């Protein structure tokens, strides 16, 4: 009974984290039984972990991408090159299969990265969570709306506080939770939401280490330009940004740049983009 409950929890956890990990776990159980029958030996812990990881990585890099393509989703680029200045903030984004989007969204990002790089040669687009490979309506937690291949989160453009050079990274190791908080005189939407009782609005800030907040700082001009280039594209439907940043960065003319409401989490730590 305990083993059964343990296995169900493992499957649930892997499914929530990676969508396909739970299914691969079932496959792993089957392969393990076959291998143990053949060798008439129980597999050790290392062998079991090795077997699961092998199956998982083969599926992630070789089997899922072509199947996802049949369902209209493709992976975002794994790393930046001379030609394509796009990369994930961390390898976990693609190791966990959280980097799938509609082909049109890749085109939008590729065009934007190209222009951005022309204007600022060292500037790359750093992406965060996108969508899982399959099934419209299957949310990529904690982002409930990232469930159809049409959503993508991007990091702001950051620079080193000392050298002022572009860093192409984020002060937060997940890309979330280190905020560009409202200054004196700016609209303080997080405060408004807190007073209305939306406790979740700023929760990521509370659980994210803030060590790099003063070392890696936002580059206002380049982030503004990045958002402008995105907003100008026809294919882009909405961009979510905290109201004080829309004002601070002089983006008031773009109706596509919206406020998302208190029921979500705050958006002064990243850009949410959707078709
Ligand atoms: Zn988002």
DSSP 168: S
pLDDT tens for 5-15 read: 999 999 999 99
Ligand 1 centre and the CA of 21: distance in Å? 22
The pLDDT confidence band at residue 139, using thresholds 50, 70 and 90, is confident
What's the 142 CA to ligand 1 centre distance in angstroms? 9
Euclidean distance between CA atoms 183 and 204, whole angstroms: 19
- What is the CA(1)–ligand 1 centre distance, in A? 39
State the distance from the centre of ligand 1 to the C-alpha of 51, rounded, in angstroms.
Answer: 34
Of 104, 143, 51, 120, the C-alpha closest to 235 is 104
Instruction: For residue 92, report the distance from its CA to the centre of ligand 1, in Å.
Output: 17
User: Considering Cα of 107, then 111, then 114, then 116, what sign does the dihedral take?
Assistant: negative
Q: In Å, how far are 129, 184, 207, 251 from 266, measured between CA atoms?
A: 15, 18, 14, 18
Q: Is the pTM of this model over 0.75?
A: yes
Question: 217 CB contacts (<8 Å, ≥6 apart)?
Answer: 158, 159, 160, 161, 171
Query: If you measure from the C-alpha of residue 151 to the centroid of ligand 1, how many angstroms do you get, rounded to a whole number?
Result: 6
Domain edges within the chain: 2-70, 74-274
131 CA to centre of ligand 1 in angstroms? 9
Q: Please count the CA atoms within 13 angstroms of the CA of 128 that sit on its side-chain side.
A: 24
> How many CB atoms lie under 10 A from the CB of residue 208?
19
CA–centroid distance, residue 150 to ligand 1 (Å):
10
Instruction: State the distance from the centre of ligand 1 to the C-alpha of 15, rounded, in angstroms.
Output: 20
24-81 pLDDT, tens digit per residue, is: 999 999 999 999 999 998 989 999 999 999 999 999 999 999 999 999 999 999 999 9
Distance in Å, CA 40 to ligand 1 centroid: 49
- Checking if the pLDDT of 2 tops 80, the result is no
What are the pLDDT digits (tens) for 179-189?
999 999 999 98
Q: How many CA atoms lie within 13 A of 24 on its CB side?
A: 23
Predicted confidence at residue 264, as pLDDT, reads 86
First to last CA, the chain: 46
Nearest to 89 by CA among 154, 27, 39, 26: 154
For 74-274, CATH gives 3.30.1380.10
Can you read off the two tokens belonging to residue 225? 């330009």
Residues 6-33: b if buried by 16+ CB within 10 A, e if exposed: eeeeebeebbeebbbbbebbeebeeebe
Q: Which has more confidence, 125 or 189? A: 125
C-alpha angle with apex 22: 16 to 24, nearest 5 degrees?
140
Ligand 1 centroid – CA 122 distance (Å): 25
Gap from CA of 2 to ligand 1 centroid (Å): 37
pLDDT tens digit string along 107-124? 999 999 999 999 999 999
């Amino acid at each position: 009974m305990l083993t059964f409950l343990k296995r169900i929890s493992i499957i649930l956890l892997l499914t929530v984290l990676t969508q396909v990990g739970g299914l691969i776990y079932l496959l792993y159980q089957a392969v393990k039984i076959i291998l143990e029958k053949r060798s008439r030996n129980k597999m050790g812990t290392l062998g079991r972990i090795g077997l699961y990881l092998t199956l998982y990585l083969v599926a992630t890099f070789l089997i899922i991408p072509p199947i996802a393509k049949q369902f209209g989703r493709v992976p975002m680029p794994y790393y930046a090159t001379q030609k394509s200045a796009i990369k994930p903030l961390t390898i976990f984004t693609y190791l966990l299969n959280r980097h799938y989007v509609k082909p049109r969204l890749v085109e939008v990002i590729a065009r934007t990265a190209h222009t951005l790089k022309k204007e600022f040669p060292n500037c790359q687009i750093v992406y965060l969570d996108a969508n899982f490979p399959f099934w419209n309506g299957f949310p990529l937690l904690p982002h409930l709306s990232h469930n159809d291949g049409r959503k993508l989160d991007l990091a702001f453009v950051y620079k080193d506080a000392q050298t002022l050079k572009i860093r192409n990274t984020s002060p937060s190791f997940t890309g979330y939770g280190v905020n560009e908080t409202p200054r004196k005189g700016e609209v303080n939407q997080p405060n408004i939401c807190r007073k209305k009782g939306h406790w979740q609005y700023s929760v990521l800030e509370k659980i994210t280490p803030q060590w790099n907040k003063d070392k890696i700082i936002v580059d206002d001009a380049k982030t503004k330009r990045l958002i402008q280039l995105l907003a100008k594209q026809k294919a882009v439907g909405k961009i979510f940004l905290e109201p004080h940043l829309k004002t601070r960065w002089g983006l008031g003319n773009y109706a596509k740049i919206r406020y998302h409401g208190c029921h979500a989490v705050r958006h002064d730590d990243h850009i949410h983009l959707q078709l």
